[in-house]
Structure 1
Amino acid sequence: MQIKLAKLNDLQQVLNVLNKVTLDLQKKGINQWDYPWDTNKIISEIQNNYLYVLLIDSEILGTFGIKEIDCLSELAIDSKSKYLYQIAILPEYQGNKFGSVITEFACSFAKKVNKTIYLDCWAGNEKLKHFYLNNGFEYQGDFPEKDYFISIFKSN
Structure 2
Amino acid sequence: MATYWDPFQEMDRLFGSLALNTRNAPAMPMDLFREGDHYILATDLPGIDPGSIDVSCEDRTLTIRAERTPRSGEGQWLLRERPSGTVARQLTLGRGLALDQISASYADGVLTLTIPVSEEAKPRRIEVSHSASSPTAIEAGS
TM-score (norm 1): 0.25
Q: Which has the higher helix share?
A: 1
TM-score (norm 2): 0.27
Which of the pair has the greater relative contact order for Cα pairs under 8 Å at 6+ separation?
A: 2
